[in-house]
């Protein structure tokens, strides 16, 4: 009898540890999607992010009436306010709804576009996620496609810079850093969107929330006429989403200017 009690006391902590590290039945989405998520889950950081975040993500999406088995996301960042917004919609829906606002936890440079390697600037413009890095030196990273066609048209030559990321670890020289806790959630959302078929996740980066009051104040502080012209070129894209919560189609013309279609 004593031997049985001893064995039971020995096995109890082992059982607790097994249960602790075994993900619940809801730790991962039920739908199969493509192989993209499966590849990402081979990385321990991504697997842990799902274990920590998927249950709460699923519940929050349900509260927004968004289908957690098939959704798209849109990211906006505002440099002056140091905020990153994550918007979401079911794949069959037209309009996005706001999922969350997050604090950007470090910054570099000033309002205005990035033009050169080493200038410390965070880009401004219309981008999409082009890189998923689950083994980043900054915990988890989502790369944006800077320099795009507009950036290349106006960049200092020959090197406009690159490797602009949304990442963890709260340090930056030209990137958009979030806490590790926040990047886990954003990264999982991005993986799910891509796994569900969203080929390009749009990322719009602005100097500030582009109200007339904000921009008038910003232009009084930063007086470069070329930068003002650039901001005026961003404004239609900002206003298009603000008015309808539908991500506009944005192209770049032969002069390197953005055109909202």
* Residues designated catalytic: 167, 175
The CA distances from residue 205 to 20, 23, 32, 117, 164, in Å, are: 40, 36, 32, 18, 12
Tokens at 251, concatenated: 């192209």
Instruction: Identify which of 60, 57, 193, 66 has the alpha carbon closest to the alpha carbon of residue 132.
Output: 193
> What stretch of H or E contains 225?
helix 225-244
Beta-carbon contacts of residue 183 (< 8 Å; ≥ 6 apart)? 139, 140, 141, 166, 167, 168
Number of helices (H), then strands (E), in the chain: 7, 10
Tokens at 229, concatenated: 């012209």
157-163-165 Cα angle (round to 5)? 135
Beta-carbon contacts of residue 13 (< 8 Å; ≥ 6 apart)? none
Largest Cα span, the chain: 87
């Amino acid at each position: 009898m004593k031997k049985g009690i001893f064995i039971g006391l020995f096995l109890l902590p082992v059982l607790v540890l097994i249960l602790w590290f075994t993900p619940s039945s809801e730790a991962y989405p039920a739908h199969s999607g493509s192989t993209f998520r499966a590849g990402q889950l081979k990385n321990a950081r991504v697997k842990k992010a799902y274990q920590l975040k998927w249950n709460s993500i699923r519940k929050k999406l349900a509260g927004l009436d968004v289908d957690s088995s098939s959704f798209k996301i849109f990211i906006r960042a505002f440099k002056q306010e140091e905020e990153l917004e994550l918007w979401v919609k079911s794949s069959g829906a037209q309009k996005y709804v706001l999922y969350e606002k997050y604090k950007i936890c470090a910054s570099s440079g000033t309002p205005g576009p990035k033009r050169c390697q080493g200038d410390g600037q965070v880009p401004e413009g219309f981008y999409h996620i082009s890189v998923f890095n689950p083994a980043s030196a900054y915990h988890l990273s989502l790369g944006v496609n800077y320099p795009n066609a507009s950036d290349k048209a106006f960049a200092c030559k020959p090197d406009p810079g690159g490797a602009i990321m949304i990442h963890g670890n709260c340090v930056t020289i030209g990137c958009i850093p979030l806490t590790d806790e926040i990047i886990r959630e954003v990264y999982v959302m991005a993986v799910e969107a891509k796994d569900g078929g969203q080929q390009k996740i749009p990322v719009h980066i602005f100097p500030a929330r582009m109200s007339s009051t904000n921009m008038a104040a910003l232009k009084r502080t930063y007086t470069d006429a070329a930068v003002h012209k650039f901001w005026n070129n961003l404004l239609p894209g900002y206003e298009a989403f603000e008015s309808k919560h539908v991500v506009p189609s944005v192209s770049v013309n032969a002069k390197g200017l953005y055109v909202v279609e």
